[in-house]
Amino acid sequence: MDNSQKMKYHAGEAKGQTQEKVSNMMDKAADAAQSAKESMQEAGQQVKAKVQGAADVVKDAINK
């Protein structure tokens, strides 16, 4: 293998490694975004339940 072939080989290796790292980073970012979305949905559900509970207390107080 001459020098230019070695350089091309190493450049291809580096490109492949870079693509793999970028792919892994993108996967981690997607996972983090999904986790954040789920956390926000859960928080929203909790707030909704608390508001509904407070509304029920007010309705009960008015109806007495």
Per residue in 5-54, pLDDT (tens digit) is 999 999 999 999 999 999 999 999 999 999 999 999 999 999 999 999 99
**Angle, CA 42 vertex, CA 41 and CA 46 arms, to 5°:** 115
Local confidence band at 64 (pLDDT 50, 70, 90 cut-offs): confident
